A = this chain, B = another copy of it.
Amino acid sequence: MAAAASSSLLAAASSSSRAAAVSTRRARANPAAASLPSPSRAPCAPLRASPARTLRSRVVASAAPAMQPPPASRVSTVVDVDLGDRSYPIYIGAGLLDEPDLLQRHVHGKRVLVVTNTTVAPLYLEKVTWALTHNNPNVSVESVILPDGEKYKDMDTLMKVFDKAVESRLDRRCTFVALGGGVIGDMCGFAAAAFLRGVNFIQIPTTLMAQVDSSVGGKTGINHPLGKNLIGAFYQPQCVLIDTETLNTLPDRELASGIAEVVKYGLIRDAPFFEWQEKNMPALLAREPSALAYAIKRSCENKAEVVAQDEKESGLRATLNLGHTFGHAIETGTGYGAWLHGEAVAAGTVMAADMSHRLGWIDESIKKRVIDILEKAKLPITPPEAMTVEKFKSIMAVDKKVADGLLRLILLKGPLGSCVFTGDYDRNALDETLRAFCNS
């Protein structure tokens, strides 16, 4: 067990480490921006290569289509993901798809492939195509529209993206744009990583799940019939553009699914954020713009901080998978798409909290608060009946966090906002949790 113990680490919230990892810039609409020195307007101007942070902030604040007077920008927040030469910004704001310059500055080359699905295409494909091409006649846009749903996150569907890219004769200077939820982002990102051994890509997440989690951090991939996300790549986008107005078309069930990941950030490393959620859950469910914007911003900050410290998941980053080992087993065991990802994660989070409590690592009050907040969000707190103890065990055995045969889990430990990633736990506690949540 010594080897396992050495991989255990405490991921308590630490404001000092946060400050080092991420900078968040507020860039509210400001009429004064128009009088600032004019930023570069070259369509491919590499924002990340700008000499100083203050300049970057101004560039964003005065973002505007070329040939027009710069209107006040709608970008309310920029979260930087700090990964050296793979760093990139996350733009968050209402109506960002109405600002062509934001997207265009991150498109290199003349060809774009938008990857989207049958649900999102009728809503936003035209708008995104406009944003990419407005006052920008050099760029041409192709699109590929995939079937919608987790069950299509497979190799056959991925091949449709490659087919379209090859048939369109896209070259290494093209840019792939992921327009949709987590499935589209994961597939488009992996396609971009593998097409011609790597082309640029941009994330435009349109679900809360994708905005607060899957679009940030560069995990891409597809499912294998025997397990979630087993085939993929770490591959970072050029930018993430979150237009919070796209949430207006999101079904309630999808909104709740995203909230499961928001809750996760509070539990693993940000107790004040969890407490804010406990107070503001009704506002989130009612889609109050300011509440949603804050939840997205704080989630992206938390994710960016973790990813900046551990891009390839050698340790800390695994803590973002609280509840996910149980959750992935539910998704795989019930057939991809029967439960939404966040629904499975919610039940998995309760199971992780239950096991943490059985191990004596957290007080009962924390376990109760976990159940309460997920119930408030109208998320499931137990796995579906089809999940047996044996089903959980056999699927969890192929989880990516298994190392040399040992299943490592993210468990809560200590005060609210603290967790560990470890294989050093009493197996009986895992068995007891599985038996407590399964009928057979």
Which A residues have a C-beta under 8 Å from some C-beta of B? Answer: 109-111, 155, 159, 162-163, 166-167, 169, 171-173, 190, 193-198, 219, 221, 224, 226-227, 230-234, 312, 397-398, 400, 402-405
Instruction: Please state if A405 and B171 are interface contacts (CB–CB under 8 Å).
Output: yes
Given the complex, which residues of B lie within 8 Å of A405, measured CB to CB? 110, 171
Q: Say whether A195 contacts B231, CB under 8 Å.
A: yes
A171 and B230: CB pair below 8 A? no
Contact indicator A226/B196 (Cβ below 8 Å)? no
**A198's contact among B159, B166, B234, by CB below 8 Å, is which?**
B234
Indicate if the CB atoms of A230 and B196 lie closer than 8 Å: yes
> Are A404 and B196 in contact, with the CB atoms below 8 A?
no
CA A299 – CA B76 in complex, angstroms? 55
Answer whether A230 and B162 are a contact pair too, CB < 8 Å, given A109-B404, A400-B196, A404-B109.
yes
Contact A403 B195 (CB under 8 A): no
Q: Per a CB cutoff under 8 Å, which of B197, B219, B231 touches A162?
A: B231
A402-B169, A402-B171 as given contacts; A221 in contact with B233, CB under 8 Å: no
Give CA–CA (A134, B259) in the complex, Å: 52
Complex alpha-carbon distance, A312 and B219, angstroms: 21
Contact B172 A403 (CB under 8 A): yes
The verdict on A197 contacting B219 (CB below 8 Å), with A166-B230, A166-B398, A231-B162 known, is yes
Known: A172-B402, A198-B312. 17 other contacts (CB 8 A): A109-B403, A162-B224, A163-B224, A169-B397, A171-B402, A172-B403, A173-B403, A190-B194, A193-B233, A194-B233, A195-B230, A195-B231, A197-B221, A197-B312, A198-B233, A198-B234, A233-B233
6 contacts between A and B (CB under 8 A): A110-B405, A155-B159, A172-B402, A195-B230, A198-B233, A233-B233
Among residues of B, the one whose C-beta sits closest to the C-beta of A195 is B231
Nearest residue (CB) in B for A313 is B197
Contact partners of A173 in chain B: CB under 8 A: 403-404
**CA A216 to CA B323, docked complex, whole Å:** 41
Q: Once the chains are docked, how many angstroms separate the CA of A102 from the CA of B398? A: 30
Whole-angstrom distance from the CB of A292 to the nearest CB of chain B?
30
CA distance A194 to B193 in the complex (A): 10
Residues of B within 8 A of A196 (CB): 230, 400
State A278–B403 Cα separation when bound (angstroms).
52
Q: Of B109, B111, B226, B403, which is within 8 A of A166 by CB?
A: B226
Q: A171-B400, A402-B171, A404-B109 are in contact. Are A233 and B197 (CB under 8 A)?
A: yes
Which residues of the partner chain B approach A232 to less than 8 Å between Cβ atoms? 194, 197
Q: Which B residues touch A227, using CB under 8 A? A: 166
- Cβ distance A226 to chain B, nearest Cβ, rounded Å: 5
Query: Would B166 and A404 count as touching, CB distance under 8 A?
Result: no
CB distance from A316 to the nearest CB of B (A): 15
A109 contacts across to B, CB distance below 8 A: 403-404
CA distance A220 to B111 in the complex (A): 25
Whole-angstrom CA separation of A172 from B317 in the bound complex: 15
A194–B231 contact, CB under 8 A?
yes
A197's closest neighbor in chain B, by CB? Answer: B232
A212 vs chain B, min Cβ distance (A) = 21
A155: contacting residue among B155, B195, B398, CB under 8 A = B155
Give the complex CA separation of A169 and B393 in angstroms.
Answer: 12
Bound complex: CA A341 to CA B166 (Å)? 21
Residue of B nearest to A191 (CB): B231
Partner of A110, one of B194, B221, B231, B404: B404
In the assembled complex, the CB of A269 is this many whole angstroms from the nearest CB of chain B, namely: 23
| A397 nearest CB neighbor, chain B only | B169
How far is the CB of A110 from the nearest CB of chain B, in Å?
A: 5
B contact residues around A171 at 8 Å (CB) = 400, 402-405
B233 and A169 contacting across the interface, CB-CB below 8 Å: no
- In the complex, what residue of chain B is closest to A111 when comparing beta carbons? B404
Provide the bound-state CA to CA distance between A406 and B334, in Å. 49
* A231 CB contacts on chain B under 8 angstroms: 162, 194-195
Q: Is the CB of B233 within 8 A of A400?
A: no
How far is the CB of A149 from the nearest CB of chain B, in Å? 20
Residues on B with C-beta less than 8 A from A230 are 162, 166, 195-196
